[in-house]
Amino acid sequence: MPEISRFLEIESGAVMGSFPRRALAHVLEWRELHKGDLLDDWRLAGQRYPLKKIPPLE
């Protein structure tokens, strides 16, 4: 099975790769709700600290 890569830029919401339309809508909604949390985790990851849990979209 080939590896599939998809990327979402946290700050702008720019997407690289293809998502099914419905999945993309959910991903973008989740990103908007948790943008601050995602950026905090990105900074923590850069410092090799444990990441905080981010709740799923309900």
* Count of structural domains within the chain: 1
Q: Output the six-digit token pair for 48.
A: 């090799």
pLDDT one-digit tens code per residue, 4-39: 889 999 999 999 998 889 999 999 999 999 999 999
Pick the closest to residue 30 from 52, 56, 5 (CA basis): 56
Q: Is pLDDT at 3 greater than 90 in this prediction?
A: no
CB 30 within 8 A of CB 8: no
CB 30 within 8 A of CB 56: yes
Tokens 């985790």 belong to which residue? 41
Q: Output the six-digit token pair for 17.
A: 């790769």
Q: What residue numbers bound the domain in which 43 lies? A: 1-58
